[in-house]
Structure formats: C-alpha cells, structure tokens
Amino acid sequence: MTTAAELLAGIPELAGAEPVTRVTIPARLEYTHTPGSAQTRFLTALPDKRLLAERCPQCTRVYVPPRGACPTCGVATTEQLELPHTGTVTTFCIVNIAAKGLNIEVPYCYAYVLLDGAHVGLHARVGDVPYADVRIGQRVEAVWNEERLGPSLASISHFRPTGEPDADPESYRRWM
C-alpha cells in the first residue's frame, strides 16, 4: 500500500517533508438533557428518600426506576407507588478495574437489587460487607448519601446487608 511519504516523494516542493499520519481533532457538543416525565417523578422523590416506582396498568409489573413505558406492554406506567428501602441481591459482580470518569474506588460490588415489591432489579452498589460475603439472595437495605441528596440516583450511596436470613430463591427467581 502506498504511504503518504511515497506520495510526497513525487512532489518536489514536499519531497522529504515529515508526513502527517495522524491528526487530533477535538469536538465538543453541548446538550441539555431532560429525563422525561416518568424519570422526573422518580428522581424528584429521591431527595426525600422516597423510592417511587410505577406499575403497568396491563401486566401490573412494578418498575423502578420507571422509564415512561412498560417495555413489554408498550403502554405508559402512570400509577405510582412507593417502595420500601429493602430488597434482595439477585446477582452481582466485583469490579476490580477503575473506569475513567466513574470516580468509584475499586474494588466495589455492583449488584442488581430487587426492591421489595418491584419486578426489576435496581442497579446499585453493595457495601459495608466483605465482598467475599456478598451472596445472591442476600437481603439488603438502602444507605442514603446524606450529603448528596438530590434528584439523582447518587442519592443512594449503596445498599448494605440487613442481617436477615437470605430470601427464598423462589421470591426473586423470575425477577433478576
């Protein structure tokens, strides 16, 4: 394959010039993000430490956070209900690799927490427990980030074990 240097060699004015092979082209676009009605309802309840879920009028499944539609029925979820701050770990991993921009100290436990009464797992950290002791089925409760309560999921610092016995696998088997 031809190179830039070979092409330049044929042009007297440029013969021998150090060829450009790469160029850095920064780009910046500014957006204003709005999360929509359903997520706004959920987010604005977080500063009050309220976990606002929404129920599908057709299949009655409970979504938290709600995203505006029941994804299996394709209809708006408009009935709100408040969920307790407790739930069950349905699966998890231990993250040992720091990701640029995430600003979370590694290692940490990233888990799906099925809040009591919900039918989808909330993605959250599990802490205040040695990672070797985190289990599928473990009962956990929300720890709020008192300094950073606001309309963001960052209001929940993490979940920690409640010390209750593990949940019956049948209670969460379908709702990982």
Q: Which parts of 30-49 interact with another protein (CB under 8 A)?
A: 30-41, 43-44
Which DSSP string corresponds to 34-90?
---HHHHHHHHHGGGT-EEEEE-TTT--EESS--SSBTTTTB---EEEEEPSEEEEE
Q: Using an 8 Å Cβ cutoff, are 44 and 151 in contact?
A: yes
CB 56 → another protein: shortest distance, Å? Answer: 8
Do 115 and 125 form a contact (C-beta atoms < 8 A)? no
Beta bridge partners of 109: 94, 126
57 lines the binding site for another protein (CB under 8 A): no
Return the exposure string of 159-168: e unless at least 16 CB atoms fall within 10 Å of the residue's CB, then b. Answer: bebeeeeebe
Count residues contacting another protein (CB under 8 A)?
85
Q: Does 172 contact another protein by CB under 8 A?
A: no
Could you say whether residue 144 binds another protein (CB under 8 A)? Answer: no
Q: Which of 48, 49, 57, 75 binds another protein (CB under 8 A)?
A: 75
Q: How far is the CB of 164 from another protein (least distance, A)?
A: 20
Smallest gap from residue 38 Cβ to another protein (A): 7
Cβ proximity to another protein: between 113 and 161 the closer is 113
Binds another protein by CB under 8 A, chosen from 86, 94, 143, 144: 94
Site residues (CB under 8 A) for another protein, limited to 10-29: 10-11, 13-14, 17-29
Q: Which is nearer to another protein, 12 or 165 (CB)?
A: 12
User: What Rg value do the Cα atoms of the chain yield, rounded?
Assistant: 24
Residue 50 engages another protein in binding (rule: CB under 8 A): no
Cα–Cα distance for residue pair 161/106, rounded to 1 Å: 19
User: Site residues for another protein, window 110-139 (CB under 8 A)?
Assistant: 110-112, 119-120, 123-125, 131, 136
Give me 119's structure tokens: 């039918």
